[in-house]
Amino acid sequence: MTDQNDQPNSEKSESEWINRTSDWLTAGRSTFLLLVLILLYAYIPLSQELNIKGLEFVFVGIISAMVITVSTDKYRTIIALVLAAAILVLTIFSDPEEIEDKRLAIGYYSAVALFVSYAVVVILYEVTRAKRFSYHLIISALAAYLLLALLWALFFSIIEIVEPGSFAVNPLLIEADSIAYNEIFSTFLYFSLITLTTVGFGDISPVSPVARSVASIEPILGQLLLAVLVAWLVGMYISDSIKNRKGD
């Protein structure tokens, strides 16, 4: 009888160990992506202030982090590697901070935007399909939120490249009538963050119809994402707490 009772306990302990190991690995991937994104947002103002170059290396880090994060099965890994390879090839032939060819700039930012979109979808899918609460879900949700800001920064950059003057910028920031190619991404990453968080300082404003439409969608998605994810995670945490109390 003792052996029969010990067997279920042993299986339960093994299952818990596997779940904890899986959570640790997933949390590690999500944490790496989150840290690289924070590095990107910290790099932009510092690079402009200190005239530091190296945005391509930060982009490579983000691409690598996204590959690691979304590669949860064979098919996702293949898709991630194909998208990453295309971006890396474009990175070899171009510097994100010094892209002067219009078509190359559009192709580069479009490829990165496609991969970021894919990463956001995969991360949100993994968060919403989780059967129990764990802290890696919070990290994944934060990473998805910051990726959304990065995605819209790429959209804004593409719009400005296709139609220069689509955004009105405070003359104190940029003296020219339109934003130079080497300033586009850094300018719109800042604009995307303040738009996503609904801060809106007013120093950059969308002017063209396409720019206004795209800019108006970002805060709506950002607030919906926050509301849904917070409600989802809180509900999951409460549900798990109730189940654990009943189990005890």
Q: At what angle do helices 209-247 and 135-162 cross, to 10 degrees?
A: 170
What is the DSSP secondary structure assignment for residue 98, as one 8-state letter? S
- Identify the bridge partners of residue 168 per DSSP, sorted by sequence position: 205
Q: Are 37 and 62 in contact (CB under 8 A)?
A: yes
For the chain, the structural domain boundaries read 2-247
23-50 burial, b for 16+ CB within 10 Å, e for fewer?
beebbebbbbbbebbeebeebbeebeee
Q: At what angle do helices 2-50 and 181-196 cross, to 10 degrees?
A: 130
Indicate the pTM of the whole model: 0.82
Please give the structure tokens belonging to residue 27: 């949390």
Closest C-alpha to 147, from 124, 127, 125: 124
Per-residue pLDDT of the chain (248 residues; tens, 9 = 90+): 445 454 544 544 544 444 454 454 556 778 888 888 888 888 877 776 666 666 677 778 888 889 988 888 889 899 999 999 988 888 777 665 566 677 888 888 899 999 999 999 999 988 888 877 778 888 888 999 999 999 999 999 999 888 888 888 877 666 555 565 567 888 888 899 999 988 878 888 899 999 999 999 999 999 999 888 888 888 888 887 777 777 65
Please give the structure tokens belonging to residue 233: 């995670």
